[in-house]
Amino acid sequence: MTDAARSAGAAKRAPLTAREAMLKKRHRSEAWFKAQGVAAIIIAMIFLVVLVGRVVGQGYSTFLTHSISVPVYLDPSRVDAAALEGVNYDYLVAEGMMKKLGVQDDDLGLISGKVMDLTSRDLGFQLLNQLKADPSLIGKTVTVTGPMKADADLYYKGEIKRSTLEEDRKLDNQQLDWLDQLQKSGAVTAGFNVKFFTNSDSTEPEQAGVLGAVVGSAMMLLITALIAVPVGVMAAVYLEEFAPKNRWTDVIEVNINNLAAVPSIVYGLLGLALFINWLHVPRSSPLVGGLVLALMALPTVIIATRSSLKAVPPSIREAALGVGASKAQTVFHHVLPLAMPGVMTGAILSLAHALGETAPLLMIGMVSFVPGVPEGFTGASTVLPVQVFIWENASERAFHERTAAAIIVLLVFMIVMNAAAVILRRRFERRW
């Protein structure tokens, strides 16, 4: 093409290009914004997948555990029926294990010591309990079934590898040989880890479970719900429907909005000063935890309730007032029922938020080792997020696996609550 022809073509197109260029630019910026939105969603999804994948990948193995059955000879010369508590049952179990493995203890007891590291102390406790129930078992051989020690369990799961330097792992080569031997002989069985759901915290990872934490969380949430929901809803109803609009109510409104943004640890300090030091509520109890979280959830419940009350059309209020309903009748017969889906959603979401809260609970002494289900609302208790925190700080490797598993339990708890919010919303929702 010649220059002349080219410039002629350009000149011909020139009047159009001004508008066309603008149009093109608009299309381009629209496509750009769309791409940015899609990219944002993809990034968010990747984070979510990585988070959930990591937690599940690390935690799912907790739900599988290896256990062993050991026949134990209850030697009458060593088991004294009069002092059952004083017997070294762990050694009796080790004897049974050594028999299974075909080894003899040495004079220093090194072999039996190494064998003892393979099975949980739960086996010994089982022996004690069986003997307590039936002392005639002395002199007989009893078979007990219980979990392997956490480190042995980790070896079976491939978390502890033979390729690691011997001095860098907790089990030496001889112990690994024994474990291989046991597995080959079929003495070790893999199964669902029921104990994780029926036990509470323990110093031994293979014995540790989340029951105490789940029950503690449920009790604490019950207290939170019983305080935050009625108080929050009534406060919101008063402020929205009855209170005169003046400077005082403005001040209150601003303060409620500010309280919703206060860091949760501050509520922990407030709870420590108010409930524990002043009112002497037992520390580390579901009661004090529930009270603190109720304080924290209140502003959110109030704000959610107020906004759903605001969304009820004024025509409904006029209709009720028009037939001679009093202010309270208008609110409780018509406005509040219509606002209920929003109130419920707000309340449950703020409770779900409270469920995952850790920081304020650390302030009121909940971060403590509690090896059982809380004894009532004033008993010592732990809760799921704090249990996660405690296990994460533990030095034993097997606890880290349980940390992830406890997070899974916590997430399931939250998903159940959020699903309940959706279902309640659907059920209460009415058209007008």
CB-wise, 12 or 431, nearer to another protein? 431
Signed CA dihedral, 351, 357, 360, 363: sign only: positive
Which range of residues in 188-196, 203-211, 312-320, 395-403 is near another protein by CB under 8 A?
A: 312-320
Neighbours of 21 (CB within 10 A): 10
CB-wise, 158 or 244, nearer to another protein? 244
Shortest distance (Å) from residue 253 CB to another protein: 15
- Tell me: does residue 321 bind another protein (CB under 8 A): yes
- Tell me: does residue 329 bind another protein (CB under 8 A): yes
The three-state secondary structure class of 267 is: helix
> Measured between alpha carbons, how far is 40 from 37 in angstroms, rounded to an integer?
5
CB-wise, 97 or 338, nearer to another protein? 338
- Tell me: does residue 426 bind another protein (CB under 8 A): no
Shortest distance (Å) from residue 325 CB to another protein: 6
Q: Which of residues 232-271 bind another protein (CB under 8 A)?
A: 244-245
Q: Which of 78, 99, 170, 317 binds another protein (CB under 8 A)?
A: 317
- Tell me: does residue 165 bind another protein (CB under 8 A): no
Neighbours of 239 (CB within 10 A): 18
- Tell me: does residue 323 bind another protein (CB under 8 A): yes
Shortest distance (Å) from residue 338 CB to another protein: 7
Shortest distance (Å) from residue 412 CB to another protein: 36
Q: Which of 29, 315, 368, 393 binds another protein (CB under 8 A)?
A: 315
Q: Which of 64, 137, 316, 411 binds another protein (CB under 8 A)?
A: 316
- Tell me: does residue 362 bind another protein (CB under 8 A): no
CB-wise, 161 or 333, nearer to another protein? 333
**Structure-token pair, residue 148:** 């392997």
- Tell me: does residue 320 bind another protein (CB under 8 A): yes
Which range of residues in 105-113, 230-238, 325-333, 389-397 is near another protein by CB under 8 A?
A: 325-333
Report the candidate in 122, 181, 129, 178 with the shortest Cα–Cα distance to residue 147: 122
> Measured between alpha carbons, how far is 115 from 238 in angstroms, rounded to an integer?
69
- Exposure string of 182-207, with b = 16+ CB inside 10 Å and e = fewer, is bbeeeebeeeebebbeebbbbebbbb
> Measured between alpha carbons, how far is 12 from 54 in angstroms, rounded to an integer?
61
Shortest distance (Å) from residue 332 CB to another protein: 11
Report the candidate in 115, 118, 110 with the shortest Cα–Cα distance to residue 99: 115
CB-wise, 157 or 317, nearer to another protein? 317
Q: Which of 74, 188, 296, 338 binds another protein (CB under 8 A)?
A: 338
Write the DSSP symbol of residue 377.
T
Which H helix or E strand runs over 65? strand 64-73
Signed CA dihedral, 366, 371, 376, 382: sign only: positive
Helices (H), 311-366: 314-322, 327-329, 336-355, 359-363
CB-wise, 82 or 323, nearer to another protein? 323
Q: Which of 39, 234, 311, 319 binds another protein (CB under 8 A)?
A: 319
Strand partners, 128: none
| Cβ atoms of 93 and 118 closer than 8 Å | no
Residues that bind another protein (CB under 8 A): 244-245, 313, 315-326, 329, 333-334, 338, 430-432
